[in-house]
Amino acid sequence: MSESNPIRDAIAQAIKENPVIIFMKGTPEQPACGFSARAVAALQALNVEFAAVDVLPDPRIRQELSALSNWPTIPQVFVKGELIGGSDIVLEMFESGELAKVLGVEQPADAQAPDAGPKPLGIENRLV
């Protein structure tokens, strides 16, 4: 018998419902750590829509996310329900062009190592 876990269920639902989602420290507009900032910048540089969840307001979000994904660090980027990885992996994929391929977008010819880009179209934190 499995016990109901509303936070884990909400995380799983958010991953399922959003083609691209990042669980991060802070928000895309105000990242609370450099790793989250760089991962967001990589997504923004590719002009993809993505959802973002701030794990800082409730430590249970981070705990349940890591239990669900088997990945200990934040940020965590999911594409089509699958964990892509954290900041280092996302940046490596961005630089090689693999991230654009996974996201189904063209990598801009002038794409630089992420540091800034357009704002995401929407942010919704349904886990708090």
Question: Model pTM?
Answer: 0.84
Percent of the chain residues past pLDDT 70, beyond the cut: 84
pLDDT score recorded for residue 50 = 97
* pLDDT given at position 119: 45
The label of the residue with tokens 């016990």 reads 3
Look up residue 72 and give its amino acid: P
Take residue 49 and report the two structure tokens written for it: 């829509």
List the strands of the sheet with 20-24, edge to edge. 51-54, 20-24, 76-79, 82-85
Burial classification of residue 65, based on how many CB atoms lie within 10 Å of its CB (0-12 exposed, 13-18 middle, 19 or more buried): buried
CATH fold group of domain 6-102: Glutaredoxin (3.40.30)
Please report the pLDDT score of residue 114 as a whole number.
Answer: 61
Q: CA 63: distance to chain centroid?
A: 16
d(CA 32, CA 62) in angstroms, rounded, equals 14
Dump pLDDT digits (tens) for 19-29: 999 999 999 99
Cα separation of 13 and 47, whole Å?
24
Per the CB < 8 A criterion, the answer to whether 123 and 68 are in contact is no
Q: What whole-number distance in Å separates Cα of residue 94 and Cα of residue 90? A: 6
Q: What is the mean pLDDT of each run of 10 residues along the chain (128 residues)?
A: 81 97 97 95 94 95 95 96 96 95 88 53 61
